[in-house]
């Protein structure tokens, strides 16, 4: 009747969804009230550091805990073991570590021999959730507690040493060549003093301040519905719920189908009761409506790509334990047809895509989404088109049974057109087939938990020949500068237009050749000028007979008869 509580962890914020169940029962109602929001705590409570390698560590001054030691902290990790902290003396030491995925150990030696206290958890401690550790030691006893598990206590001997004498630095993380802790530690308090992990992590390689995940910054690189999985030295993409593979879920998983070959994916394993199917997530999407108690689908999401040159054929068929079915066909004309039969009408509801030949050997992408009566179809990169089931049609796909690729091999009555298209079968490539969260081709080609649902007739050869290449979607008419709205558009040249593709190609080739020739000529001119820039002829006024004259002056006088007169007229010398 009432559900209240406090949100104790920052990771649980923000609250993005409130789910209220049991609302379909007559008289059932729910009331939600959000009280005043109060945030409390201190900075030290979230003072944290991330250890990203097994050799990473932080060091602090020697722990002063001769007669009393009180250590507490929180940790979260996905690793199975690692040292939390350690401080050494000559023979004395104190150490806290994660010994296994279910064990935390507190060990020390004050001179009477090593003492170890172990807390064993019934649940995994490396579940990437916060867990609290509290270790105490005094002259009378030592204790260790993890989360709310029972406190483990070890009495101190009545005689012997009682003082813990340490001299080395306190190491948080790897120490002495041991495998260090991989994960996050926060709110580390030693005898009431909170160690500033964040500040020390800022100047320490291999350790990062805080526990903010890599997925916050890089999660968008997990494409096609892949889920980002946090790791302490990076991240990975979980592609198990997608029809893709690879580090970032972008590699298509597809196969080539020879004539007569087919694949069947059963929505429930052999020996599984129908009610057990409800709890399975293979058929469900994130929406709880997908797994209704009567095994009905109110919505589907189907996507795949294919290429073929033969028609007619059946690309995909989904059967049921009733007369309901869904099919994607290629008609004899090469056009695509989507066929729904959900009951309530005499004939199936057909969506015919008559304006495009899909059996042209090129890869084509098909995306079909149905939500109740509304159907959205998108082919390749063209805009989506909306359709609606007839008013008389049911909107629930009752009791889905199996999904077929390439050919339909089903017991019972089959639609007559599908029966005709079923022979000889699909020949070509299918890729990235996904129905809700089911990827039948991937289940067949990759060993997964869903592989037991798959039955194959023939040899399935992996190939990405059905994968669509990356192409640029067509521009809209509003932004396309070459788009002509009507015949009234004026051309700047009204002469004879180029009539066919041959002339157009010739014009393009001629233009390219002209550009190449012009470029070659320019290059030659440049090279000639460069080669001869230091060569050439020049003219001087050197007197004739200079070779046989005794000196340059004599050569001038022999060559110029007026030169003697000039000398006579200028016998006077002036000194300036």
pLDDT tens figures, 254-289:
999 988 889 999 887 554 444 444 334 344 444 433
Q: Is there a contact between 138 and 67 (Cβ–Cβ < 8 Å)? A: yes
pLDDT tens digits, 357-377: 889 888 999 999 999 999 999
d(CA 530, CA 533): 6
Q: Is there a contact between 384 and 376 (Cβ–Cβ < 8 Å)? A: yes
pLDDT value for 47: 87
Give the domain ranges of the chain. 48-209, 213-242, 253-269+295-462
Overall pTM > 0.75: no
d(CA 224, CA 388): 27
As assigned by CATH, the class of the 253-269+295-462 domain is: mainly beta
For the domain spanning 48-209, the CATH number is 2.60.120.200
Residue 69: other Cβ atoms inside 10 A: 20
pLDDT value for 486: 43
Bridge partners of 185, per DSSP, are 49, 75
The 3-class SS string of 516-552 reads HHHHHHHHHHHHHHHHCCCCCCCCCCCCCCCCCCCCH
Cα atoms in the Cβ-side hemisphere of radius 13 Å centred on 321: 11
Bridge partners of 318, per DSSP, are 326, 403
Tokens 């009477």: give the residue. 112
Q: Is there a contact between 179 and 80 (Cβ–Cβ < 8 Å)? A: no
Q: What's the residue count for the chain?
A: 576
Q: Say yes or no: do domains 48-209 and 253-269+295-462 share a fold.
A: yes
pLDDT value for 305: 92
pLDDT value for 566: 45
Q: Is there a contact between 173 and 63 (Cβ–Cβ < 8 Å)? A: no
Q: Is there a contact between 313 and 421 (Cβ–Cβ < 8 Å)? A: yes
Residue 522: other Cβ atoms inside 10 A: 10
Spatial neighbors of 378 by CB under 8 A, at least 6 apart, are: 365, 366, 367, 384, 385
On the question of a cis peptide bond just before residue 473, with omega within 30 degrees of 0, the verdict is no
The 3-class SS string of 198-257 reads HHHHHCCCCEEECCCCCHHHHHHHCCCCCEEEEECCEEEEECCCCCEECCCCCEECEEEE
DSSP string, 448-516: -GGGGGEEEES--EE--TTSPPP-PPPPPTTT-TT---STTPPPS--SPPP-SHHHHHHHHHHHHHHHH
**Residue 558 host element (H or E):** helix 552-559
Task: Kindly give the confidence (pLDDT) of every residue in the chain, 576 residues in length, as a single tens digit, with 9 standing for 90 and above.
Answer: 666 777 777 667 667 677 777 777 787 777 777 777 776 666 677 788 988 888 889 999 999 988 899 999 999 888 889 999 999 888 889 999 999 999 999 999 998 889 999 999 999 999 888 899 999 999 889 999 999 999 999 998 888 888 898 989 999 987 767 788 888 999 999 998 999 999 999 998 888 888 866 676 677 888 888 988 876 656 789 898 899 988 889 888 999 998 888 999 988 755 444 444 433 434 444 443 333 334 778 889 999 999 999 888 999 999 888 888 999 999 888 899 999 988 888 888 999 887 788 898 889 999 999 999 999 999 988 899 999 999 988 888 988 989 999 888 877 777 777 888 888 889 999 999 999 888 999 988 887 766 778 888 888 888 877 665 544 445 556 655 555 554 444 444 444 444 444 556 677 888 889 999 999 999 988 888 877 765 555 555 555 555 555 555 555 555 555 544 444 444 455 565
């Amino acid at each position: 009747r009432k559900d209240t509580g406090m949100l104790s962890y920052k990771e649980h914020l923000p609250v993005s969804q409130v789910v209220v169940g049991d609302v379909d029962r007559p008289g059932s109602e729910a009331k939600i009230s959000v009280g005043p929001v109060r945030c409390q705590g201190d900075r030290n409570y979230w003072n944290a550091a991330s250890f990203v390698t097994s050799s990473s560590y932080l060091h602090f001054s020697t722990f002063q805990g001769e007669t009393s030691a009180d250590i507490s902290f929180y940790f979260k990790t996905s690793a199975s073991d690692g040292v939390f902290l350690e401080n050494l003396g000559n023979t004395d030491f104190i150490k806290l570590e994660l010994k296994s995925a279910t064990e935390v150990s507190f060990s020390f030696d004050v001179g009477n021999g090593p003492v170890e206290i172990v807390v064993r958890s019934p649940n995994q401690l490396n579940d990437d959730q916060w867990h609290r550790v509290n270790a105490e030691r005094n002259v009378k006893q030592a204790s260790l507690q993890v989360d709310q598990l029972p406190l483990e206590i070890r009495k101190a001997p009545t005689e012997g040493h009682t003082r813990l004498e340490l001299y080395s630095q306190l190491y948080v993380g790897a120490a002495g060549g041991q495998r260090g802790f991989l994960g996050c530690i926060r709110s580390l308090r030693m005898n009431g003093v909170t160690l500033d992990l964040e500040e020390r992590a800022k100047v320490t390689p291999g350790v990062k301040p805080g526990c903010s995940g890599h997925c916050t910054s890089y999660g968008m690189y997990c494409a096609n519905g892949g889920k980002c999985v946090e790791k302490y030295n990076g991240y990975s993409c979980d592609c198990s719920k997608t029809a893709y593979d690879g580090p970032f879920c972008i590699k298509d998983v597809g196969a080539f189908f020879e004539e007569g070959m087919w694949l069947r994916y059963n929505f429930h394993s052999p020996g599984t009761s129908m009610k057990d199917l409800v709890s399975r997530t293979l058929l469900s999407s994130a929406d709880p409506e997908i797994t209704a108690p009567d095994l009905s689908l109110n919505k589907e999401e189907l996507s795949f790509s294919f290429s073929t040159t033969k028609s007619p054929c059946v690309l995909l068929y989904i059967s049921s334990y009733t007369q309901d079915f869904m099919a994607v066909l290629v008609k004899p004309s090469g056009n695509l047809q989507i066929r729904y039969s959900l009951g309530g009408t005499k004939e199936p509801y057909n969506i015919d895509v008559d304006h495009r030949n899909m059996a042209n050997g090129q890869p084509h992408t098909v995306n079909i989404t149905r939500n109740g009566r509304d159907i959205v179809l998108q082919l390749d990169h063209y805009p989506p088109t909306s359709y609606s089931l007839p008013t008389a049609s049911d909107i629930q796909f009752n009791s889905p049974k199996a999904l077929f690729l390439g050919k339909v091999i089903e017991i019972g009555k089959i639609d007559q057109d599908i029966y005709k298209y079923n022979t000889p079968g699909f020949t070509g490539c299918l890729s990235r087939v996904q129905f809700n969260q089911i990827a039948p081709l991937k289940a067949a080609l990759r060993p997964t938990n869903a592989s037991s649902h798959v039955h194959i007739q023939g040899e399935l050869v992996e190939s990405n020949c059905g994968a669509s290449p990356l192409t640029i979607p067509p521009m809209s008419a509003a932004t396309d500068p070459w788009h002509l709205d009507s015949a009234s558009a004026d051309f700047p040249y009204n002469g004879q237009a180029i009539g066919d593709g041959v002339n157009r190609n010739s014009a393009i080739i001629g233009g390219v050749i002209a550009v190449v020739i012009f470029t070659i000529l320019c290059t030659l001119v440049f090279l000639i000028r460069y080669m001869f820039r230091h060569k050439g002829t020049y003219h001087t006024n050197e007197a004739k007979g200079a070779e046989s004259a005794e000196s340059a002056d004599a050569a001038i006088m022999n060559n110029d008869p007026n030169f003697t007169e000039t000398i006579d007229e200028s016998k006077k010398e002036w000194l300036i």
